[in-house]
Amino acid sequence: MIKLKKKEKDLTRRYLIWCYKTTKESLDRIERYYTQIPVDQYLLKQLMGSKDFKSSKTNKKYKNLVNDFEQYIDVKKKNVDAKKFEDLNCKKLDPEYQYLKERFAAIEKAIAHFLGKKELETINSLYEAEMTDRILNAREHL
């Protein structure tokens, strides 16, 4: 950690928080789908294993909703793979994704360098709290 005057440290901190936030949000727009897909697959398995689904001969609309959810998961996976990878085999990272990943790692190192590792943990906690708060306060899905 380098020594900065208070005003310099405050300005540097704000700039690094902005860099952290904007880059992490861009990266999360891709990464979140890779955490959502296993959850969606688990939910699908639960739905397909339910009594209601198995006896849905009488309730075709319910079965169709579950089947639509399965298709939604497949489309989600294909769409996110196209954002993260250059190839269909998902072996070569997309240059934009690679840049975001490397930029974020560099920002974390810069925060530790200019402000200290403890401040990096604080900024990460602030970011997670902000994202959770956004989800809990969102009204567009009501």
pLDDT score at 122: 97
56 has pLDDT over 70: no
The Cα 133–Cα 142 span in angstroms is 16
* Each residue's pLDDT tens digit, 89-109: 999 999 999 999 999 999 999
The Cα 138–Cα 129 span in angstroms is 14
pLDDT score at 62: 86
- Count other C-beta atoms under 10 Å from residue 100's C-beta: 21
- Residues 2-7: what's their mean pLDDT? 86
pLDDT score at 71: 97
Q: Which residues contact 93 (CB under 8 A, 6 or more apart)?
A: 84, 85, 86, 101
* Each residue's pLDDT tens digit, 115-133: 999 999 999 999 999 999 9
The domain ranges of the chain are: 6-137
The Cα 76–Cα 33 span in angstroms is 7
Residue-averaged pLDDT of the chain? 92
Q: Which residues contact 16 (CB under 8 A, 6 or more apart)?
A: 107, 110, 111, 114, 115, 123
9 has pLDDT over 70: yes
**pLDDT band for position 31 (cuts 50, 70, 90):** very high
> Helical H runs in 1-142?
6-49, 51-54, 60-84, 95-115, 117-137
pLDDT score at 86: 94
57 has pLDDT over 80: no
